[in-house]
Amino acid sequence: MHELRSLLATGRLLVYENGNMSLFSSNTFRFDTIKTRLQCSPAGTYRNALDCLGKLVRNEGILALYKGATPPAVGWTAIDSVLLGSLHNYRLFLIRSGFTEPTPGHEEQRLTILGHGVAGLFAGVTSAFVATPMELIKVKLQLQLQNSASERQFKGPIDCIHKIYKVQGIAGLWTGLPGSLAFRSNFFWMFLSFEILMRSFGRLKDTPYEISTGTAHFLSGGLGAFAYWAMAIPADNIKNRMMAYPYPQPYPTSIQSDVFDVKPSFLRTARLISAESGVAGFYRGLGPCLLRAFPVNACAFFVYEGTMKFLGAEKVSRSSTSLSLVLMCSQTRH
């Protein structure tokens, strides 16, 4: 019965959280467009993020910052639901499999720190299968430099899906899946670092440095996002380059095209980035990621705490298996 209440409360929280977070994410999507341009454009196109922003607005207009925003707006709810729902179940599975340790001051067992990381890794891999088509379409639309919609190869998300399907078939919508799997496996570091930080803040209880639970969630989530992106940005670069292929050349219009005779594999793309820009090439776009991660998390935690009180789900949310199900989803939106 307790597990059923936990799952139901988690589902309600996801509905509220994703609905509210779409408002906050729309205001930070422009950072994602800059990141994608930095990562996928030929070396030397932009000096840095500010140069990219200036050229983009000057040549394409302010609304160009929101190119490709429709797929995430539609898809993020599904992706986050798969991520958090599977995270919950992986945590339960690991607890039943013995990944537990004593809880200081309590009789019940809790999931180990490593268990939190492993659950995050498995949840990230699971969500990659849902996220890849959405991210593929987003990247294709973000990289269209034409100011006029009539001049763009892809007129919108549906047209993009149709043209990819026409040339590559249904499997073409999962172009870049190996990169997405590698990228999202870094949820290991996100949930691992979040749990470490939460436990560290917990040790401050009854000291002059004690902070509230809400503040601990806020700080742990923001810092956990930094840890995530520091580890995930190389795979994110590879993933987006795979999805952008054959950019800057136009996407082929016929199945007879020889563009895909040599497919952009994970290792081939990594070698190409290394040859072009060295190690630094794998960290393109890190600045916009870090700028976006913390404020989005702040909004996520604000919504989370308000929703918790509204639903009266505090007891469920504080259980060892669902403490931070909603806390970390929003910083993955790139």
Question: What pLDDT is recorded for position 297?
Answer: 63
CATH of the domain at 194: 1.50.40.10
How far apart CA 216 and CA 31 sit, in angstroms, is 26
253-277: pLDDT as tens digits: 887 677 777 788 999 999 999 999 9
- What is the pLDDT, as a whole number, of residue 321? 41
The model's pLDDT over 275-320, given as tens digits with 9 standing for 90+, comes to: 999 999 999 999 999 988 887 765 665 554 445 456 554 343 444 4
Quote the pLDDT of residue 237: 98
**CB neighbours of 303 closer than 8 A, spacing ≥ 6?**
16, 17, 20, 21, 24
pLDDT at 27: 52
pTM, whole model, 2 decimals? 0.85
Instruction: Residue 318: give the domain boundaries.
Output: 2-332
pLDDT reported for residue 334? 45
Residue 302 confidence (pLDDT):
53
Number of domains in the chain: 1
pLDDT at 244: 96
Within the chain, which residues score under 70 in pLDDT? 1-28, 256, 297-334
The angle subtended at Cα 274 by Cα 273 and Cα 275, nearest 5°, is 90
